[in-house]
Amino acid sequence: MLRKPDIATLPTSLKYNYALSFTVTGLLLIAVLQSCASLSKQECLQGDWQGIGERDGTLGRPFSQFDKHAKSCQRVSVVADRALWLKGHRQGARQYCTRANGLIAGNSGQEYNKICELDQEPVFLSAYRLGRHRYYLLKQRRGILRSIEYNQDKISNVNDQLAKGEMDKDDARREVDNLVSNNQSLLEDLEDLTWKIARFDQKLEKADFAPLPRP
């Protein structure tokens, strides 16, 4: 039986933090739900348009969110109040468009919906771009880990075929050697990327940003 590399024996710095993966996936799922969902019948009938707008603003939702609300409320014969919604949205956006939220939004892969006012936007965007950079670093890291896991699965498949007599031993060894070599290269890339993320996080902390979840 050809040996399969064991990820569990890797140094701690190279192990994948699945909790972070689930966190990012959860944030993306919330973003998708937010883009599809609008208002309930009860919310339409209550008609707290300023409150609805403020909630949308604090979540960083775009101005086009009002059109979704208006369409939802048409079904129960309620006319949405754009003026009140905009007033609330502006108040909510003031809470959303902070330096800290810019970093968090960028790091979670959220799009910036251009809702910040001129006096807040530069600071928000500066932090958002930093978060966005970290988001892409983490995305690269996840891609490398997926490739490593894919190669491990292929090694398992080769071993299964070899055990069943469905593959020549020399061919199997050559394929496994190639996969192991590829994984070694990927592990080097993973270590380098992990180091880059750690250094980037140090710079963020020195700039007085709150710590983000570590990979």
Q: Per-residue pLDDT for the chain (215 aa), expressed as one digit of tens each?
A: 444 444 444 444 434 343 334 344 444 444 444 444 479 999 999 999 999 999 999 999 999 999 999 999 999 999 999 999 999 999 999 999 999 999 999 999 999 999 999 999 999 999 999 999 999 999 999 999 999 999 999 999 999 998 888 888 999 999 999 999 999 999 999 999 999 999 999 999 999 998 888 77
For 60-96, write each residue's pLDDT tens digit: 999 999 999 999 999 999 999 999 999 999 999 999 9
The answer as to whether 35 is a domain residue is: yes
25 and 91 housed in the same domain? yes
Q: Are residues 82 and 144 in the same domain?
A: no
With beta carbons less than 8 A apart as the criterion, state whether 183 and 156 touch. Answer: no
How many domains does the structure of the chain reveal? Answer: 2
Q: Which residue range is the domain that position 150 belongs to?
A: 130-215
Burial 38-61, CB ≥16 within 10 A → b, else e? bbeeebbeeeebbbbbbebbbbbb
